[in-house]
Chains A and B, each alone.
Chain A
Amino acid sequence: MSVRVRSELQRVTLTVNGAAHELEVEPRWLLSDVLRHQLGLTGTHVGCEHGVCGCCTVLADGRPARSCLMFALQAEGLEIQTVEGLASADGTLHPLQEAFRRHHGLQCGFCTPGFLIAALPFYRTAEGMSDQELREALAGQLCRCTGYAGILQAVRAASRIEGERSQA
């Protein structure tokens, strides 16, 4: 049977970084594209669109997920968090961002939003993780520039930076 074409817009409410957005989307639109093109949240990067590079990783209900492997319609009812939700409103970097900056966790920065989001759920326990554990936890994120050493150091350092701040 021939495949029928459906491209009608459908209403959806997406919750991103705590704010609700009413949108109209085609069912085939990927969450990554809707974040970028409808909501202007271009911090979520798109590298491969088949789940391999990790640049598009967001948190869905606190868990990392590929936004290129989810239709925007499917994100309804989930709390989506993107890299834009990390820094404070006054521009103060999140401790994890600050750690990437201090430890050379980025060069071109294309992969960085994905790494930050992937590390967000566990960075507070990263100091106690072995190299092997930490590498495995981040193995789903690819970086073409850094060689990863700075990224691992940064993720390990983030909770210390957070600690310094809370004492200050």
Chain B
Amino acid sequence: MKPAPFAYHRPGSREEVDQLLAQLGSEAKILAGGQSLIPILNMRLAAFGHLVDLNHLAGEPAEPAVAGDELVVGPLVRQAAALESALVAERAPVVSQALRHVAHPAIRSRGTVVGSVLHGDPAAELPAAVALLAGSVRARSRRGTRPIPAARLWTGALENTLAEDEWVDELRLPVRQPDDGFAFEEFARRSGDYAICGVAARVRAADGELKAAVAYLGMGGLGQVHALQPMAAEEIDGPGLRSALTEAVAELDPGDDLHASARYRRWLALELGLSCVRRAAERALK
């Protein structure tokens, strides 16, 4: 199908975007990579009077950069650029690991990292990675800027806490510490599909103990991180990890759908979680 008619705006600067959103209010929609928004428009699941296209903003960085102890990702950093970035692989490895599962080359070449985070699909990889890292976005409008931490960014599937006149000009992710190990695993029907279930894990080695945290995707929620009780390295391979993850999975509320039952999803979450945390632990101890 074809999109309903709209007016097209091509701002050249961040300030112009602020201006347009202030002027147009609820009729305006930000267009970034378009890889989620345009399918929605094509299928007429939604229609907007005005699209504000970010793709011609002048001077926007094409690649992530490090500022202090954070990785900074601008609104036009494509998923392909982040996946190819050695900086991301070194400083935020879970983002590279997650990106390998996001769609296909022809989607990642246009789709942006920030767009995927704001789109907020509960089965998407990047929101889980951003939640695990306790990242934040910088919301901006003519009224000023404010940080929104991942824990408060999403209110549900495809819903975020941006005000009508706000948009995001930056994603910030704390860079890895020397004793951090990360891993990402998912199960999807085909390579590049949204996950039926996925897990992002961080294990931090400190004082002879391992502190693990996991974030799930495809399991209903968005933005939740489950911190496990600190464990001795031996427990990672023993029953300790299984019982900690069983508790974490019990907090999840996945639904039944065409692709998988809730019961199957919980089983996947537990099994993928086990191998994911173990792999992250190996990397933390190396």
CB distance from B206 to the nearest CB of A (A): 36
Which single member of B10, B38, B109, B190 contacts A60 (CB below 8 Å)?
B109
Asked whether any CB of chain B lies closer than 8 Å to the CB of A19, the reply is no
CA distance A140 to B133 in the complex (A): 29
Shortest Cβ distance from B80 into A: residue: A63
The number of chain A residues touching the other chain, given as a range, is: 35 or more
Which single member of B1, B26, B105 contacts A49 (CB below 8 Å)?
B1
Asked whether any CB of chain A lies closer than 8 Å to the CB of B110, the reply is yes
B42 touches A49 (CB 8 A): yes
Which single member of B49, B53, B80, B107 contacts A66 (CB below 8 Å)?
B107
Which single member of A4, A71, A74 contacts B27 (CB below 8 Å)?
A4
Q: Which of A128-152 contact B (CB under 8 A)?
A: 135-137, 139-140
Shortest Cβ distance from B48 into A: residue: A3
Which single member of A3, A30, A60 contacts B47 (CB below 8 Å)?
A3
**Most chain A beta-carbon contacts within 10 A, residue among B34, B55, B105:** B105
CB distance from B174 to the nearest CB of A (A): 30
Judged by DSSP, the binding face of B is loop
B27 touches A140 (CB 8 A): no
B7 touches A3 (CB 8 A): no
Shortest Cβ distance from B27 into A: residue: A1
CA distance A4 to B49 in the complex (A): 5
Shortest Cβ distance from A121 into B: residue: B105
Question: Contact string, B166-191, partner A, CB cutoff 8 A, digits 1/0?
Answer: 00000000000000000000000011
A140 touches B42 (CB 8 A): no
CB distance from A11 to the nearest CB of B (A): 12
A3 touches B49 (CB 8 A): yes
Chain A residues with CB under 8 A of B5: 5-7, 26-28
Asked whether any CB of chain B lies closer than 8 Å to the CB of A35, the reply is no
CA distance A3 to B46 in the complex (A): 11
Which single member of B25, B38, B43, B103 contacts A1 (CB below 8 Å)?
B25
Chain A residues with CB under 8 A of B105: 63-64, 118, 137, 140
Q: Which of A1-53 contact B (CB under 8 A)?
A: 1, 3-7, 10, 26-30, 33, 49-51
**A residues neighboring B (CB under 8 Å):** 1, 3-7, 10, 26-30, 33, 49-51, 54, 57, 60, 63-66, 68-71, 73-74, 118, 135-137, 139-140
**B residues neighboring A (CB under 8 Å):** 1-8, 10, 25-27, 34-35, 38-39, 41-43, 47-49, 51, 53, 55, 80, 103-107, 109-110, 190-192
- Sample of 21 A–B contacts (CB below 8 Å): A1-B25, A1-B26, A1-B49, A3-B4, A4-B7, A7-B5, A27-B7, A28-B5, A30-B38, A49-B2, A49-B43, A63-B105, A64-B109, A69-B35, A69-B42, A70-B38, A70-B110, A118-B106, A135-B191, A137-B105, A140-B103
